[in-house]
A = this chain, B = another copy of it.
Amino acid sequence: MKIALSTGGGDAPGLNAVIRAAVLSAVNRGWEVVGIKKGYAGLLGDDEVIPLTAESVRGIAHLGGTILRTTNRGNPFHYPVYLPDGSCEERDRSDEVIANAKALGIDALISIGGDGSLGIAQRLCEKGMKIVCVPKTIDNDVSGTVTTFGFDTAVSTALDAIDKLHTTAESHDRVIVLEVMGRHAGFIALHSGVAGTADVILIPEIPYDIEKVCDKIRARDKSGRHFSIVVIAEGAFPIGESPSIHGAHKVGEAERLGHVAERLAEAIEGRTRKECRSLVLGHLQRGGQPTSYDRLLAVRFGGAAVRAIAEKKWGHMAALQSPHIVFIPIKQVLGETKRVDPSHDLVLTARATGISFGD
């Protein structure tokens, strides 16, 4: 038996722990393991395929990033090809992927990635490739699983930032707006905001009214609380505007257009005359050591993926349905972005403790 591993999409804390657990589980079964570098690029001659042994994965469980590296541009069905004239076009190179995997003697693949990677895996499975998946999403927006690794670390990093901003906001009587990840789903903003006792939380699932946001800040001011903390998901948008304007930009575009946090801070300062500051947490949320929760979940996913191969669960992904890891068909979750349910107990409790969602 010879299996391969690859990681695709944005990195998330815990990827290396998945890799380590999968490699050790496979090696201890007597299987051979290889790693495909940079998503599928290793299978298309644009990067390497390397052997993975117990030695390769020593001491990596607590490291952020991925030893297999990753990319957002590795969809073999729309693979970027750079032409001699400097331009770039996309080609379907999926058959090459399948042929090259076969040529390398790869019997099965563990694909670790987000919504995009799951879709690719599904299509490759339909063409006969044997793939099991491990879901990966910082934003917690993959359906079918309570959560995935990386999310707890991202929330923890966001909470740490909120704690830091709290003391400085309070000392200076300021409003501070913190922008966190979450283009389509506001889980990071909601979880870190509630844990950090933010005053306002704005998420894509609940369009906000800037006046309601300012009302909350003014009410606090009147009651002697001269500072406020606003946590906003990058995909949040005002009532009446289309999400596409705000949330659905291309990667990197946000940096050029200006972040939502800056625009919100300006709007609040203009309306309340209070000193406002903004901060975009950005890539800090992807990096660093995974929390204990994420390391454990990653290990469980890695071990489960190898069992899934032994059980021939092609086209399935590992999922946490507490307290168990189960395997569910990828088809079931594809295209179903998990989003915050405004009637969830967490939202109710947040409102009950006085947090405003700007609605």
Contacts and interface: CB of A to CB of B under 8 A. Distances in A.
Contacts of A168: 11, 64-65, 283, 286-287
Interface in A9-26: 10-11, 13, 15, 17, 20-21, 24-25
Contacts of A192: 292
A288 B349 contact: no
A171 interface: yes
Given A70-B171, A277-B282, A353-B24, A345 B288 contact: no
A296 interface: yes
A43 B293 CA distance: 39
Contact of A167 (B11, B160, B165): B11
Overall SS of chain A's interface: helix
B345 A164 contact: no
Contact of A299 (B66, B194, B293): B194
A25 to B, nearest CB: 4
Contacts of A65: 166-168, 170-171
A328 interface: no
Interface in A151-184: 152, 155-157, 159-161, 163-168, 170-173, 176
In the A-B complex, list the 6 residue pairs whose CB atoms are closest, starting with the nearest. Answer: A303-B349, A164-B287, A64-B167, A65-B167, A164-B288, A65-B171
Given A62-B163, A69-B170, A70-B171, 15 more contacts: A11-B168, A24-B352, A29-B352, A61-B195, A61-B196, A69-B171, A71-B172, A156-B292, A168-B287, A194-B296, A195-B292, A293-B293, A303-B349, A303-B350, A304-B349
